Amino acid sequence: MGMKKGYLFTTDSLIAVLLFITVMFALPVLYLDKKESTNLNYYATDMIKVLSTLTIDEADNDYVDYLIEDYNVSASNQTILEEVGRLWVLGYEEQATLLVKNITYGLVPENTGLGVYIEGSEVYSNNFSKEDYLVSSKHMVSGIEPGKPITGLSSRAYLDDINEKSSSAYAFFGGFVGNGNVSKKLFIPNMATIVNASMELDVTTGFRLYINNHYSGTFNSSGQEFDAETFYVNRSYFTYFQDGENLVKLVFSGTGSDYVGGGYFKVKYSTPDISSGDIEIIEGNAIDRYWFPGIDGIINLYSSFYVPGSLNEMTIYLHYFANHTLSFQHDLVLRIGNTTVLVDNLSTTTQTITLNSSFLNSTLDYSFLSKKTIPIRFGFENITPVEIVVGGYKGDTAVTTDLSGSMDTCDVDDSAHLIPGDCGSPGDRAQRIAVARYVDKFFVHYVLNTSGNRVGLASYGTTLDDSLDLTDDELLLNDTIDDYDTLSSPYYYTCISCGVYESIQLLLKDEDYRFFIPRNSDWLYNISYRYSEPPDDGSGDNWTDEGFDDSSWKNGTAAFGTYEGSSTIINGFYANLSELAPDLETPELDFTSGIMTSANTFCHPPCTLSPATQDGWDYDVRAYTTNDDDTTRTRIRTPNGESGYTSYNNVETGSNKWIQIEIRNDNYARDDSAAFGIQFNITPDMYDIISHGGTATLSFDYYADDVDNDLEEGAWIKARFGDGTTMNYLGSNLDSGDTYNDATAEIWCSTDYPSSGFEEGGSYGDGITGTYSLNVSQYITHKGYYYLDLGAKGSGDYYSSEGFIASFDNILLTMYNETGNVYFRKRFSLENLSNYTSVSLFVYSDDMADVYINDVLIDNDSSQHDAYYWNREVAVPLQYLNEGENEIAVKLYNNDSVFGFDLALGEKRKKAMIVMSDGEANRCHGPDDGIIDTNGLSGSCTTSQAAQEAIDFACYAHENYGISVFAVAFGNAGAASIATLNKTACCDDCSHFYTSTNVTGLVDIYANIVEELHKINVEKVIQAYNVTGNYSKNILYPDSYIMFNYTPGSLGPAFGKVPISIESARFGGPKGNFYIPPNTEVTDAKVTSFSGKRWTNLVRINNTNLTSWRTVFNLSEFSGRYPDLGDPYIVQVPAGMVSSGNNSVIINIGDNMTSLGNGSSDDRAIITVNLDLQANYSSIYPEAEGCRWYVEFEDGSNTTIKVPSGYSGSNSCYYMNYKGSLNVSFSSNDSIDWAVYNLFRKLDIDDNGRLYVNFGQGEFNINTIFIKDIPYLWGPTLIEVRTWQ
């Protein structure tokens, strides 16, 4: 039994354990299986949102189309949900259900219920039965409510006609109209009733007004420039106005210098003509005219006109009298934009000139001029009181830009709002990088305004980020600058030296740009006429003539002369035995060519060359050894002459070869020595040089090295020079008093403490190097052979394996003329000479030089001096240069044995870099900076040395290449940055350091740099002539015009709309504001600019739509030379840039593109809006009865009108002004009253209760329409979407 009990227990336990294990393993596995889940809540919320967003007219659904066709469902902008509600409350319950069903089909899974309910009543349900979870989302819909009517009355009102509209006609003067009496055409619509006439003018003297040649009043002026004074014309003179064309004339009381510095003559009128004006439109193209003002005095017009579309054709008609025979001998010029279309320097009688479209089509860029305010200038050249000089030196500038992380700081003061997208509080701060982009582009634009200049770009962060080679492509430069943005980690550090380094590379990459003869050019030269000029070539041409026959002259490459690095050595001779690596840069005559062809005197017995045996120091085996063991004792060898080094003929003379003398112990207590000799043949010509005071300089390099690094005995290097008969030891007696000494001079020795090693080397085995040089002309007393012995000697204390090696290389004997002139000639070709405004000659000479170009002496230097680049910079008048072939000839005066010559001819270009940063330099350029790395930081430049590296690079650029350095500390740069940039600028000129924390300051800085760099002399220029003394009057007749054909952006106001001009108040300061009422269609916008005698430079606008300041006019876009350009008084603002609400305008004036003076506080905006003569249908109201309306108009008049016209009731309604504001009263249940009110609001654009259009009973018609089934605004009603699972 006991056994059975045990079995049962075990079995049950096993079952339990198995169950346990099974559950333990199975459940987690099941639970951890991936799970796909959906969120029921989204179906409800999303469904309610899309059904309340998708509109009936938008929905692409067959059932919606069916409803529209068969159930009078209008394709309206009602949402699906609203339409469901509408159908439902109207009794179309089935249609409502089907609409929901169709539109939601398939949008929820099959296992999800969906239902739509209105106020708890089911509209639709997919009848999914299971409902464990329910989600509901609700939406309110207005206009429907069970039990309420959903239809009412809606009315609309419109004007059939109007009696009058109030508007204004303008005659604009300026920017500058003078000098003398001025007139202008003024066009007044037909049937206009003049309300008032006034002038707003910038004049400095009083005047009499003539309307259509009728005296119309005298007006006095305060004489204040830039101020607009308002003058009102007495109503009694209004009768002088006529429909259509009028002429108003101002006759000044001054002396003839009078002018209008901007302004207008305005006639406010009422007219029943609601057309837009006198613009003629034919087949979609409009034709309009700009009428020139009449000027009776001296024609001096700076003005503008605007083409409001794509310009197709232009014709100019000029009617003037300019008497060139008397006082004014100046060119009368008409310039459109920057293009001169007429120059008259001859006429003496009245001219009527037509510049036809074919001429103007080929002359002007219509695309550029379209939709622009175009400056026009018509007047005499060169009689303004102050001239402007733009563009001195042409040049190249590398502009560096810091893109480090700190450049995203928003701290640059931009209260002038020059930067689009100001940041920071209070909205007048700009991000540093945005400012950098702005000033970089400004700099580019200003520099490139003068043709021939180029700009390169280098931007940097931790390293160089981007660079652009020097170019005059402004678009390319701007594109590159536009891509500038602050860098992120790890590139956001500041490596100023990276920018400087790259700038140097950019500036040096194309040094010969615009040079006809660059530095180091090939020349023909002649050294045969040292003391007299070359004779003519036999055909009568002397050496400076273009046609001179110089075919016998030698050819060489500059620089010529004796200076180190000269490419062509003339008047001097070298003998170079061999070269010690590295090779010398200059090709030289060597041992196997030139004067030493008679062979050297190296000789080892048995000597066969005579008189080689005479050179004294050759090794004499019999004299110094007893066992003929010369090969192991003392030997002469080449560096690679490991074998056969006793042979006399194995002295090699190729590159990297040198000769050695090895002194070894010979076991005898006697000095050991060896030498070789070089034979020089002093030719008669050479001796002539020497005998005429020339020099013969002998030089060689030597090297001494102990063979076993423990030299204990004396060692000598010796040399002798002479004619074989008289040999002169060279050097000096260096061993006097030493342990070892001899009686003769030596080049080098180690003879004092030989036990401690070479004296000069310091320790055992150190090699000694040196160069010996001596003027040996004193030893050259006749022509013939001379000898140089080079030898080595060791003391007799040498033991076996001891000794030293003496090596020699670069053995030179150079002879130079002391006196004697050299002549150079070169031909060069020159094209497009007109592209050059200045050409300069650059001369490198030792000593002085006469330079002839095309046989004309251009420069004659008279001072003795060493040569450097460049000794002379001389401007070359362009008239001395020929288009095509030219010739230049130079006489170089050589008054001593050293001379040099090089020359360059071309456009003088200044090179400069602008180093800009906002922070401390904390990264180096390294590790390998090449030759620029003058500070030894290569490879070891650490962060703390980064600033010094930037300074060193900049100083290198200035010192070696004359590169001007300008430095700009940007924004709130720290003290360390300022210090670095200040020192960087000081490499050139400490005054080239600038810093500013505001945008206008930085713009000024970059402008100053341009002017400093290019020596641009920007004088203050004013537009007025300074008229003194007697002068011959000239006349511009006001029938002159510019007619232009253009394709307008729009073809005038649409039917039912009328254009109305309104003026803003005067801006009252440098920044002006004007207001556009909501829902107003602006068709034209312009701002006035009273710039006086200066130019309207820049106009910008900002509003809530634009979000940042946008430029609408930039005069420099046409040219940087403002005296050539017209001056707008009216600057057009694209209507699309004007928004409802407040608009802000900034106007800047000045004499040049960098001048941003404040515009006049009297400037204002003139806006044309289209008034809508009809209002949309009113909302739904229960009544449509009408009213008797009392209405007031803008001109102060009022009227009473019944609406509808047959209204006979007693209701009274008002739309009037009360204490300056709108006062309105009408029935709020009457749809007709609402329609009229809505119309009146449109006609009262300034909301003052006075309508801009004046109408009478007959012209004002109310059309009342009843629309059925239009839902009221009942509710709101809750529509619910439920989803469940």
Partner 1 sequence: MAGYTLIRKRRGQIWSLDMMMAVVMFMLALFMVYQYLINSERTNVSDIEELARDSQVISSQLLSEGLPKGWNSTDVKMIGVAKDFRINETCWERFSNISYDRSRSVFNTRYHYYVYFTDNEDNLITIGGIDGIGKPGVVSANVSEVQTKRIIKVDRLAIYDSKIIKMVLFLWE
Contact positions toward partner 1, by CB under 8 A? 1, 4-5, 8-9, 12-13, 15-17, 19-20, 23-24, 27-28, 31-32, 34-39, 42-43, 46-47, 49-50, 53-54, 58-61, 103-107, 109
**Residue (37 or 129) nearer to partner 1, CB:** 37
Q: What single letter denotes the amino acid at residue 1137?
A: M
Which three-class secondary structure state does DSSP give residue 795? Answer: coil
- Please, which residue, 35 or 1268, has the CB nearer to partner 1? 35
Q: Please, which residue, 12 or 122, has the CB nearer to partner 1?
A: 12
Smallest distance from partner 1 to CB 1079, Å? 22
Least gap, CB of 337 to partner 1 (angstroms):
35
Question: Least CB distance from residue 61 to partner 1, whole Å?
Answer: 8
Closer to partner 1 by CB, 31 or 1055: give it.
31
- For partner 1, the closer CB: 519 or 1110: 1110
Q: How far is the CB of 28 from partner 1 (least distance, A)?
A: 6
Smallest distance from partner 1 to CB 11, Å: 8
Nearer to partner 1, 20 or 1218 (CB): 20
- CA dist 1140 and 1132 (Å) reads 17
* Structure tokens, 1047: 């394709």
Cβ-proximal residues to 685 (8 Å cutoff; 6+ apart), any chain: none
Rounded Cα gap, residues 1265 and 1262, in angstroms:
10
Rounded distance between C-alpha atoms, residue 1225 and residue 180, angstroms: 56
Strands (E), 190-258: 193-203, 207-211, 214-219, 229-232, 244-252
> Alpha-carbon torsion 545, 549, 553, 555, what sign?
positive
Indicate the residue type of 469. D
Nearer to partner 1, 116 or 299 (CB): 116
Cβ 459 to partner 1, closest distance in Å?
A: 17
Instruction: Report CA 97 to chain centroid distance, whole Å.
Output: 66
| Residue 224 CB, nearest approach to partner 1 (Å) | 47
Give the SS3 label for residue 943: helix
CB within 8 Å of 753: residues ≥ 6 apart? 739, 759
Closest CB 419 distance from partner 1, rounded Å: 17
Nearest C-alpha neighbor of 931 from the set 961, 962, 963, 966 = 961
Burial category of 726 from C-beta neighbours within 10 Å (exposed 0-12, middle 13-18, buried 19 and up):
exposed
Three-class SS state of 547: coil
Nearer to partner 1, 11 or 255 (CB): 11
Min. distance of Cβ 1257 from partner 1 in angstroms?
47
Residue 547: φ, ψ to 5°: -90, 10
d(CA 1123, CA 994): 30
Using the minimum distance from each CB to partner 1, give the nearer residue, 239 or 1107: 1107
Tokens of 1251: 């309508």
Radius of gyration of the chain (CA): 49
Residue closer to partner 1, measured from CB, 38 or 800: 38
Min dist. Cβ of residue 44 to partner 1 (A):
10
CB 102 to partner 1: min, Å: 10
Contact assessment for residue 99 and residue 83, using Cβ atoms and an 8 Å cutoff: yes
Cβ proximity of 341 and 353 under 8 Å: no
Task: Tell me the residue length of the chain.
Answer: 1285
CB 1149 → partner 1: shortest distance, Å? 35
Amino acid at 930: G
DSSP string for 279-320: -EEETTEEEEEEEPPEEEEEEEEEEEEE--EEEEEEEEEEEE
Q: For residues 1058 and 272, what is the distance between their CA atoms, to the nearest angstrom?
A: 11
What is each CA distance from 593 to 585, 601, 756, in whole angstroms? 18, 15, 44
DSSP classification of residue 1117 = G
Buried b / exposed e along 1058-1069 (16+ C-beta atoms within 10 A): bbbbbbbebbee
Minimal distance, residue 112 CB to partner 1, in Å = 10
Nearer residue to partner 1 within complex by CB, 4 or 622: 4
Q: By C-beta, is 9 or 961 nearer to partner 1?
A: 9
Nearer to partner 1, 112 or 1152 (CB): 112
Residue pointed to by tokens 């006075």: 1250
What do you get for the CA distance between the two ends of the chain, in Å? 60
CB of 105 to partner 1, least distance (A): 6
Distance, in Å, from the CA atom of 902 to the CA atom of 1041, rounded to the nearest integer, reads 59
Nearest CB to partner 1, comparing residues 43 and 786? 43
